[in-house]
Structure 1
């Protein structure tokens, strides 16, 4: 069955967004304990492109499938995980890129470069890193992985934060400062 990307975030209600976020049937990567370890010869560059053995992976369906197997350990190493094996994958910055944002009914919903939809909140915090001169904003995705906000999504979020006294945003009841600590 061919993959149908979700519609534009701006056209969806918060209920529709939540349903789409829940509908993605992801493998239970966090429950698997593979015994074999290898190198995948894969890399995700800072601009979100995927490579295998030096060649770019250009099929969105493959990237979407691989991304569902991603897990990041406590040391920051990213892995592609199956029940039998985990393979190291080099990630230059973040495994995902947040490419769009919509604010509705007290929630901030992000679309990722893999068409995943993530609603920011206690389970998916917005994280400010860097410093005042070179700030970077990230969104926790799943299994320790993160999405870096691209330039336009960053600008959208900052515009929302400028309405607050402390450069922060609120999503599903949680407040997130956009000022790097």
Structure 2
């Protein structure tokens, strides 16, 4: 057995591959075990702390003794609260995830927005850690958008915001094309 291609170091033997663990995460960030909700937040946070993403896209829970796949409908985490300090280009924005992780938007934790084809409806994401993202909840996204402004990038007007000295585009202002 070989370990999936990801950044995890193990001393000694590789963990046992348990296959599909029967754990899933729905689009609303709810965790399930064989279809039944996992309601203990401490248990979910423990699972989240050992989650990794293989280069082939699979989500894995990996401990020194075992590893197995879980199913994720969209992304494993939600950004449920936003914090900001400073203003303009000196602003720093951070988010709290539904797993109580605090993540500051910076070069290692960028924001990205995916627009739905046709409707251009945005789905904003934040990189929490290598390969694992949080989707911003609608209310948090609206709070974020309220703090943005217009910049010109490559001759195009873009709406976005600054955090940690980096401009993060949220969307184009001219959607005519």
CA contact (8 A) 2:60 2:68 kept: yes
* TM-score after normalising by structure 2: 0.79
Cα distance in 2 for partners of 1:57, 1:31 equals 29
Give runs of aligned pairs for residues 87-98 of structure 1, distance below 5 A.
Answer: 87-98=68-79
Confirm or deny that 1:128 pairs with 2:116.
no
Deviations 1:6-37 (Å, cap 9, x if unpaired)? xxxxxxxxxxxxxxxxxxxxxxx732383432
Confirm or deny that 1:164 pairs with 2:150.
yes
**Relative to total residues, which structure has the larger strand share, 1 or 2?**
2
- Please identify runs of 4+ aligned residues in structure 1 that moved more than 4 A: none
* TM-score after normalising by structure 1: 0.77
Q: Which runs of 5+ in 1 are unaligned?
A: 1-28
**Relative to total residues, which structure has the larger helix share, 1 or 2?**
1
How large is the RMSD of aligned CA atoms in angstroms? 1.7
Aligned with 1:36 (options 16, 22, 28): 16
Structure 1 residues 143 and 31: alpha-carbon distance in aligned structure 2, compared to 1, 3 A threshold = farther
- Name the count of aligned residue pairs: 151
Higher relative contact order (CA 8 A, sep 6+): 1
Larger Rg: 2
Q: Displacement of 1:160 after TM fit? A: 1.5
Structure 1 residues 84 and 137: alpha-carbon distance in aligned structure 2, compared to 1, 3 A threshold = same
Alignment correspondent of 1:177: 169
